[in-house]
A = this chain, B = another copy of it.
């Protein structure tokens, strides 16, 4: 299929979609941007309108997230709300459409139910690649909030999933003494084999001697009880998706500095986040092999 794609319609989104447009243009594609009407121009990228983008694009890419709760396209650079009209849906219903959170998107635009609508955000490779900007964002966050250097610090990463794997590598590379906690014997063996100290997440009864704690487990790990047994000058950064893994109220009461850090790829590294959307879209196209 990829050979027949010449023009790409990009609808809505933030800086990431602008970098995405830029990157496709550098590869020789034509890109039509819709939903950026509050921008006059973006370097050499022409800004058009939603209808043109939908009508001339061989494939259509929606942002992350694709739609808001009212069904309008997530388009922070647009002054008005953007709803795709029935006429416009007609234009794209047989084109490959790339969205995030497909189910919500289809709920907003049920006419596309039988269309080739792909969800790049649900793919495992998308999530893995995003672990890099997430981990860098977490490191930047820690560098900014912690008054010592990462080098020489004692850090704990809870969880050895995608983010845990990349983040612990990064912290160690910067010279931190890294402990990683996990639950399975397999993960604990990998943690050991890759050179970190290992702790069993389920046996964490106190957090002593750590300057920095990064939680990646989407479950209540740092409850009031554990926080009561945590050094007061430990900085806790919660990277787990909502509702997260830290009882922030208890932390406040105990005067422990605990902070949430979410959506790091888009906020800290939109250019890289764009490359990841691009490579995931291209992987889907390659796999589908239209």
Contact = CB atoms under 8 A, between A and B. Distances in A.
Interface of A: 15, 19, 123-126, 128-129, 131-133, 136-137, 139-140, 143-144, 146-152, 162, 165-166, 169-170, 173-175, 185-186, 188-190, 192-195, 268-272, 275, 283, 287
A290 B269 CA distance: 50
Contacts of A269: 146-149
The 6 closest A-B pairs by CB, nearest first: A173-B173, A125-B189, A128-B189, A140-B143, A148-B271, A147-B271
A142 to B, nearest CB: 9
A42 to B, nearest CB: 13
Contacts of A162: 193
A149 B128 contact: no
A174 B136 contact: yes
Q: For A126, A186, A193, which residue has the most chain B Cβ atoms within 10 angstroms?
A: A193
Contacts of A147: 15, 19, 269-272
Contact of A125 (B126, B131, B186): B186
A134 B144 CA distance: 13
Contacts of A189: 124-126, 128-129
Contact of A143 (B129, B139, B146): B139
Nearest to A172: B173
B136 A149 contact: yes
A257 B147 CA distance: 27
B132 A193 contact: yes
Contacts of A165: 190, 194
A275 B192 CA distance: 12
Given A136-B150, A140-B144, A147-B15, A129 B174 contact: no
A152 B272 contact: yes
Nearest to A123: B185
A124 B188 CA distance: 11
Q: For A133, A148, A287, which residue has the most chain B Cβ atoms within 10 angstroms?
A: A148
Given A125-B186, A128-B190, A195 B175 contact: yes
Contacts of A188: 125
A269 B143 CA distance: 8
A165 B194 CA distance: 9
A173 B175 CA distance: 10
23 contacts: A123-B185, A124-B186, A125-B185, A125-B189, A126-B189, A129-B189, A132-B149, A136-B150, A136-B174, A137-B143, A139-B143, A140-B144, A144-B268, A146-B269, A147-B270, A148-B271, A148-B272, A148-B275, A149-B269, A151-B272, A173-B174, A175-B195, A185-B287
